[in-house]
Amino acid sequence: MKILVTGGLGFIGSHVVVELQNEGFEVVIIDNLSNSTIDVLKGITDITNMEPIFEKIDLREKGSVKDFFKRHKDINGVVHFAASKAVGESVDKPLVYYENNLNSLIYLLQELQKKESSYFIFSSSCTVYGEADALPITESALVKKAKSPYGNTKQIGEEIIMDTCKVVSGMNAIALRYFNPIGAHNSIKIGELPIGTPQNLVPFITQTAIGKREQLLVFGNDYPTGDGTCIRDYIHVVDLAKAHVMALKRLIQGSNQDNFEVFNIGTGKGSSVLEVIRAFENVSKTKLNYKIVGRREGDVIAAYADTTKANTVLGWKSKLSLKDALSSAWKWELNNS
């Protein structure tokens, strides 16, 4: 079966393409290369011995999306990653984020709704929960008002899909709400490639350890947590990628209970920033240069997943540890430098 992966050369997308090809799916990638490079295609091909079809398309161009589906009439499964994801940038450029993240989604759904049956996996985020009232966070936790245009595009994106699935018979979708994806493929042929200064913790740690950055700033140690730093649920990107394959198979097999479902994808375990630093120092046998500074605006205190629904309904469970993830992220950094 042929599957379209939009943003398939990005960090999570590329790992999903690998897992899909390993499971026998034929993959077509659309990517506009705005936050990825064409070299990733080689990494995917080396790992799987199979070169996915690649088309450089910008999904904001409605005509190109239409034309793509005219040329690939046999595609009715889509895993959609193509979107902008920098929280801070979204505050400065809201219209860029709303246009990029929402228009592309709408154009894809407009094409899929013409089909007798279609399957859609949406890349969502735990950011939809904001500062949750209870931990661990279940899928029934309230969706709080988003703190950034980026977060808002994930909330609105889910609503657009839900509303569409209500009226388009034959359209089935799953939104996966990721916690904090980190790490790299164990082949070290694909991984995270932040352009410019990394905004996320783990790439900043590895770049500091290798000397590309002078010092890691730890944003706040006065939070009401064990050691005062924020707590997150760091999930290995390969585990996360496998969840997409399971979600897609669930839809294809018709095992879904509803035509729009959501699942939390995390490990269920929270780690503080200082715990991540210690774990990284252990696996890399390096000493990290870091300094505690003030809080970063918009950060929630703690977020980790209740994975019961993913475990029991989707049949997916994370297998790799924080140590595995940090070790692969470090090998990836060493290899890239």
Shortest distance, position 7 Cβ to ligand UD1, whole Å: 13
Q: Which is nearer to ligand UD1, 86 or 165 (CB)?
A: 86
Residue closer to ligand UD1, measured from CB, 52 or 151: 151
Q: Which is nearer to ligand UD1, 78 or 265 (CB)?
A: 265
Residue 312's contacts (CB-CB under 8 Å, 6 or more residues apart) are none
Q: Residue 32 or 208: which CB sits closer to ligand UD1?
A: 208
Active site residue 234: no
- Please report how close the Cβ of residue 219 comes to ligand UD1 at its closest, in angstroms: 4
How far is the C-alpha of 43 from the C-alpha of 50, rounded, in Å?
10
Distance CA 84, CA 59 (A): 12
Q: Provide the minimum distance between the beta carbon of 87 and ligand UD1 in the complex, in angstroms, as a whole number.
A: 4
Place of tokens 């944003």: 219
Nearer to ligand UD1, 200 or 311 (CB): 200
Q: How far apart are CA 126 and CA 304, in angstroms?
A: 9
Task: Work out how close the CB of 232 gets to ligand UD1 at its nearest, in angstroms, rounded to a whole number.
Answer: 5
Min. distance of Cβ 26 from ligand UD1 in angstroms?
29
Q: Which two tokens stand for residue 295?
A: 């809080």
In the complex, the residues that contact ligand UD1 under the rule CB under 6 A are 85, 87, 125, 127, 151, 180, 199-201, 204, 216-219, 230, 232, 273, 296, 298-300
Inter-CA distances, 82 with 96, 196, 205, Å? 13, 19, 26
Report CA torsion sign: 77, 79, 82, 210: negative
Q: What share of the chain is helix, strand, coil (3-state, %, to 5)?
A: 40, 20, 40
Minimum CB–partner distance for residue 132 and ligand UD1 (Å): 12
Which is nearer to ligand UD1, 47 or 126 (by Cβ)? 126
Task: Write down how long the chain is.
Answer: 337
Q: Fill in the amino acid letter for 267.
A: T
Q: Which amino acid is at 263?
A: F
Specify which residues 263 forms β-bridges with: 176
Distance CA 127, CA 318 (A): 20
In angstroms, give the least distance from the CB of 116 to ligand UD1.
34
One of 97, 129, 150, 304 is an active-site residue; which one? 150
Which residues, 6+ apart, have CB-to-CB distance to 278 below 8 Å? Answer: none
Q: Which amino acid is at 115?
A: K
CB-nearer residue toward ligand UD1: 3 or 218: 218
Listed in sequence order, the DSSP H helices in the chain are 11-22, 39-48, 62-71, 87-92, 94-98, 104-112, 149-167, 201-210, 237-252, 273-284, 308-309, 322-336
- Supply the residues annotated as catalytic: 150
